[in-house]
Amino acid sequence: MRFPRSSFRRVILVSSLALPVHTPVGARQVTLALVGGRVLDGFGGPVLENGVVLVAGERIVAVGPASEVHVPGGARVVDTNGMTVMPGLCDMHVHLQLLGHGDYARWDELYGARNEEVMAVAAGQLLDAGVTCARDLGGPLDELVATKRAIAEGSIPGPRLFISGPFLQRAPYEPWQADYRWAVNGVADAEAKTKRLIDAGVDVIKLIDQDQLTDEEVDAIVRTAHAAGKPVVAHAHRMDEIRMGLRHGVDDFEHTGLGTAPGYAPDVLRALRERNAALWWAPTISPLYVMRYTGEVFPERLDDPAWRIGMSREMADEIRASLEHIPRLPYYALFPSRIPRLPEKFAQLRETGVRMLIGTDSGIPSMFHTDSTWREMVKWVELGVPPMEVIQSATLWPGRFFGRDDLGTIAPGSLADLIAVRGDPLTDMSVLRRPDLVVKGGRVVRASR
139 plus 258 within the same structural domain: yes
Query: Does 5 score more than 60 pLDDT?
Result: no
In this structure, what CATH number is given to the domain that contains residue 415?
2.30.40.10
In this structure, what CATH number is given to the domain that contains residue 247?
3.20.20.140
280 plus 224 within the same structural domain: yes
How confident is the model at residue 449, as a pLDDT? 60
55 plus 105 within the same structural domain: no
The answer to whether position 6 is within a domain reads no
326 plus 342 within the same structural domain: yes
The answer to whether position 144 is within a domain reads yes
Range of the domain at 419: 25-88+408-447
347 plus 423 within the same structural domain: no
The answer to whether position 33 is within a domain reads yes
What would the pLDDT profile of 34-75 be if each residue is shown by its tens digit? 999 999 999 999 999 999 999 999 999 999 999 999 999 999
The answer to whether position 11 is within a domain reads no
Average pLDDT over residues 15-29: 42
For 45, 99, 290, 309, 323, the CA distances from 299, given in Å and listed in that order, are 40, 17, 11, 19, 9
What would the pLDDT profile of 176-209 be if each residue is shown by its tens digit? 999 999 999 999 999 999 999 999 999 999 999 9
How confident is the model at residue 278, as a pLDDT? 95
100 plus 174 within the same structural domain: yes
Q: How far apart are the first and last CA of the chain?
A: 36
Say how far apart CA 19 and CA 58 lie, in whole Å: 15
What would the pLDDT profile of 242-283 be if each residue is shown by its tens digit? 999 999 999 999 999 888 888 999 999 999 999 999 999 999
248 plus 193 within the same structural domain: yes
pTM of the shown model? 0.93
Average pLDDT over residues 370-385: 98
36 plus 78 within the same structural domain: yes
